[in-house]
């Protein structure tokens, strides 16, 4: 049976009518599907405990890209160049991340998802690379196609990411202005850009917890390393325990509103 992989939805507005909707980019859905998984979109419900009935059936979690995370989540005041934030979205995705960690579910973080995973584990972020990280490359490239690769990602030898990709480096797209600053508890840096900015993290003590700062869902058809990450993630999600363990109650992360 193909594994079921949850992808959180984000609040948005329908083009034209401006009706409020929940959704996410199709690229995440198709990347999971092409790797052999079944994507399941998770709406942002008012009562997060209601998600327990759904989460009990999921085999893994993909944390997607999106807007900035509230700095109070990692003990900082907002920087003047902080982008838009959404407290309800932060609470929603942090709750899902803590659930996946608690239940030992495989997890793949992408862009904001990597930053959120790091925050969930007690780490911090650069709120704006251009103003806070001296000598940084141009990491925010919203004016370019999302599939355009712009810089190299240098993989740390001996990491899970190195074993998954079989590569020492790959070219990636880049659509972010924030990045991991201090890694969280148990977090290992798995790759960096040429300027030293963290481009991938992992938690080697977990079955599969890997995150990339780039958007592999946009380039996996042209960058084999990214395709291998999705394949390894879906494969890990398909390795169910021989004896199912009881699901524990869904709990909010520390500091949740």
- Rounded Cα distance between 104 and 98, Å, is 10
- Rounded Cα distance between 204 and 191, Å, is 14
Catalytic residue ranges: 111, 215, 217
CB 164, CB 229: distance < 8 Å: yes
CB 210, CB 190: distance < 8 Å: yes
- Rounded Cα distance between 129 and 90, Å, is 21
Phi/psi at 64 (nearest 5 deg)?
A: -90, 180
- Rounded Cα distance between 238 and 37, Å, is 8
Q: What is residue 85's DSSP assignment?
A: B
Closest CA to 70 of 109, 129, 115: 115
């Amino acid at each position: 049976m193909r594994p079921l992989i949850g992808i959180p939805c984000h609040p948005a507005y329908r083009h034209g009518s401006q009706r409020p909707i929940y959704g996410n980019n199709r690229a995440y859905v198709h990347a999971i599907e092409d790797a052999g998984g079944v994507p399941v979109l998770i709406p942002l419900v008012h009562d997060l405990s209601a998600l327990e009935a759904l989460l009990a059936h999921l085999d893994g979690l993909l944390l997607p890209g999106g807007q900035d995370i509230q700095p109070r989540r990692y003990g900082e005041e907002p920087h003047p160049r902080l982008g838009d934030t959404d407290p309800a979205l932060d609470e929603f995705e942090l709750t899902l991340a803590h659930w996946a960690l608690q239940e030992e579910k495989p997890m793949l973080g992408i862009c904001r998802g990597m930053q959120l995973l790091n925050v969930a584990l007690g780490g911090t972020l650069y709120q704006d690379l251009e103003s806070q990280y001296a000598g940084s490359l141009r990491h925010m490239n919203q004016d370019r196609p999302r599939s355009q690769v712009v810089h190299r990602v240098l993989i740390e030898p001996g990491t899970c990411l190195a074993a998954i990709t079989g590569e020492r480096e790959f070219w990636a797209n880049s659509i972010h202005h924030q990045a991991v600053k201090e890694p969280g508890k148990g977090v290992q840096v798995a790759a960096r850009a040429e300027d030293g900015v963290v481009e991938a993290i992992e938690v080697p003590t977990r079955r599969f917890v890997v995150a990339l700062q780039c958007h592999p869902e946009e380039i996996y058809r042209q960058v084999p390393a990214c395709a291998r990450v999705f394949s390894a993630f879906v494969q890990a999600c398909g390795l169910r325990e021989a004896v199912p363990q009881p699901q524990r109650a869904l709990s909010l992360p520390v500091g949740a509103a």
